Amino acid sequence: MISPSDTPLPATYYIGFCRQCGTGPLGLRTCGDCGNVLVVCDECDSAWVDGEVDQLPATTGVTTLPCPHCQSDVFEEPGHWSTPEELLYCQWLNDSIGRGDVTVHTSLTPPPEDDSVV
């Protein structure tokens, strides 16, 4: 189902499933150039600048996925799946968690209905 073509780190954080393709997990990925934490779909290669994933993606890609902030390919090194430290300092993420809009998961299981915030 998910092919680990770009060898993601084990500690990958997800905030749910993609509303564009319906199947892709939405991962939190850090752009290697500008350092912004983005929401990216593993499946259809869409990127959002924050947790507003009900909106259309800010950028989409096919073999590369341009960062909405700086246009670098976020799947290219040194882009990486966000670390706990990066998530801790990510303003939009903390705001979204605070509002209850976003729940962070570390596995690909569908989000439970309760709020198991990391």
76 binds Zn ion (CB under 5 A): no
Q: Is the dihedral of CA 97, 92, 101, 2 positive or negative?
A: negative
Stretch that binds Zn ion, among 11-19, 51-59, 83-91, 101-109 (CB under 5 A): 11-19
Minimum CB separation from Zn ion for residue 60, in Å?
A: 9
What is the DSSP track for 65-89? -B-TTT--BTTSTT-EEPPHHHHHT
Q: Could you give the string, one character per residue 26-55, with x where binding to Zn ion holds by CB under 5 A and - elsewhere?
A: -----x-xx------x-xx-----------
Rounded Cα distance between 115 and 56, Å, is: 25
* Residue 66 CA to its chain's centroid (Å): 13
Q: Residues interacting with Zn ion, by CB under 5 A? A: 18, 20-21, 24, 31, 33-34, 41, 43-44, 67, 69-70, 72
